[in-house]
Structure 1
Amino acid sequence: MTESKAPPASTLPPPAGATSDGFRTMMSTFPTGVSVVTGLDREGGPWGMTCSSVCSVSLDPPTLLVCLREGSPTLAAVREQGGFAVNLLHEGARETAELFASGNPRRFELTPWTQDPDAGGPHLVRDAHTVADCTVVLTQPVGDHVTVFGRTRRITRQSTRPPLLYGMREFRAWPGI
């Protein structure tokens, strides 16, 4: 195994203060999976948003977290109903990821979905390879987002297609699968 060497310090930019733009640029270099977090409001209306801030927290009990923008209708629905679904998107779901990131109010008219009584939120039946239905166990505001911890109570595998990734401000398929 060969050891790679860091570039000479003279070729690297000087350290800079952490700004929102700098932080966004830094995080764009860290590829992650893409999901759509969904929930229902009090009237049973569907809400959802593209989310790449999803993380496993615990195996026992199975718990994950999602970070949702403060003030978003999806976060309001998740808080109202105490549950949500994390739709892990497959490689063919780029358009859906973009649609749910756009804020288009017709997104649920343009995407096939189902909702059964045991689900935490709508399941995107065409675009998710797996869906985790969760019950909210804790919310924690942090800056302009809220971290929502959800106990995963049901997992539905819908497809064997590889996951959709996001990094360097681009959507890509998982390589080599």
Structure 2
Amino acid sequence: MKADVFDPRALREAFGAFPTAVTVITASDPAGRPVGFTANSFTSVSLDPPLLLVCVAKTARDYPAMTAAEHFAINILSEAQKDVSIKFARPAEDRFAAVDWARAPNGCPIFAQVAAWFECSIHNVIEAGDHVMMVGRVTAFESSGLNGLGYARGGYFTPGANSSAAGGEIGAVAVLERHAALFPLGDQNLALPSYSAGSGDPAKTLASQLERSGLSVHDWFSLLDL
């Protein structure tokens, strides 16, 4: 699509083709009350110095408090925290009452059972259209080893993940798409189809398993060695 002015809905759907992690950004307002909202526009930026970035909509209810805070935190939600994502994506008076959380060293709210969390000091705030890019310098973090919650094309999914350490099994993951929508498996927490290949060929193992499920495999466009 090419035009001087894009259709916002079509552009949003196109952006949504890129699978992302789901996070809840948190901080404290001037009175010390916790504030936060769901966001998936998050990325790591630098290891030295340790920097990350998140985009915040200027229309967000907590935008003034978030951009005025000296510190903020990124809670990367785990695969079992879809309800947390939904809760913090909707307006509510006290969203924090429904989650288990504690204060990080600089006072930002950190949730229990997340895949990882990062507390940051404000490094830079950059104007970017109807959003701002908040660049944070990591001052504390923790990774639990839990799988993260994924989001793409308007739906949640759980990326399969196995150890890649020496001696670990080789696995293969398929990303299936039908009518412009991801096709994950499962009832509650959805996951992409993944299989252990043992010592065999991951591509052949995955193809065989998908064919047993009644799917016709024609082309491989994404294989992950996990």
Partner Cα distance (1:108, 1:148) in 2: 22
Corresponding residue number in structure 1 for 2:106: 119
What is the Cα deviation at residue 161 of structure 1? 1.6
What is the Cα deviation at residue 58 of structure 1? 1.2
Q: Judging changes above 3 Å, is the alpha-carbon distance between structure 1 residues 176 and 156 closer, same or farther for their aligned structure 2 residues?
A: closer
What TM-score do the two structures reach when normalised by structure 1?
Answer: 0.84
In structure 1, the residue corresponding to 2:106 is in which secondary structure? Answer: coil
Q: Does 1:134 align with 2:108?
A: no
Corresponding residue number in structure 2 for 1:95: 83
In structure 2, the residue corresponding to 1:61 is in which secondary structure? Answer: coil
Q: Judging changes above 3 Å, is the alpha-carbon distance between structure 1 residues 60 and 176 closer, same or farther for their aligned structure 2 residues?
A: closer
Which structure is richer in relative contact order (CA contacts within 8 A, separation 6 or more)? Answer: 1
What is the Cα deviation at residue 95 of structure 1? 0.5
Gaps of 5+ in 1: 1-14
What is the Cα deviation at residue 16 of structure 1? 4.1
In structure 2, the residue corresponding to 1:108 is in which secondary structure? Answer: helix
Select 2:52's aligned residue among 57, 61, 64. 64
What is the Cα deviation at residue 120 of structure 1? 5.4
Select 2:18's aligned residue among 11, 27, 30. 30
Matched to 2:110, the amino acid is H
Matched to 2:141, the amino acid is I
Larger radius of gyration: 2
Percent identity between the two aligned chains: 29
What is the Cα deviation at residue 62 of structure 1? 0.5
Gaps of 5+ in 2: 163-226
Matched to 1:152, the amino acid is V
What TM-score do the two structures reach when normalised by structure 2?
Answer: 0.67
Matched to 2:111, the amino acid is L
Select 1:145's aligned residue among 131, 136, 147. 131
Work out whether residues 47 and 73 of structure 1, in 8 Å CA contact, stay in contact via their aligned partners in 2.
no
Matched to 1:95, the amino acid is D
Give the CA RMSD over aligned residues: 1.5
Partner Cα distance (2:100, 2:52) in 1: 25
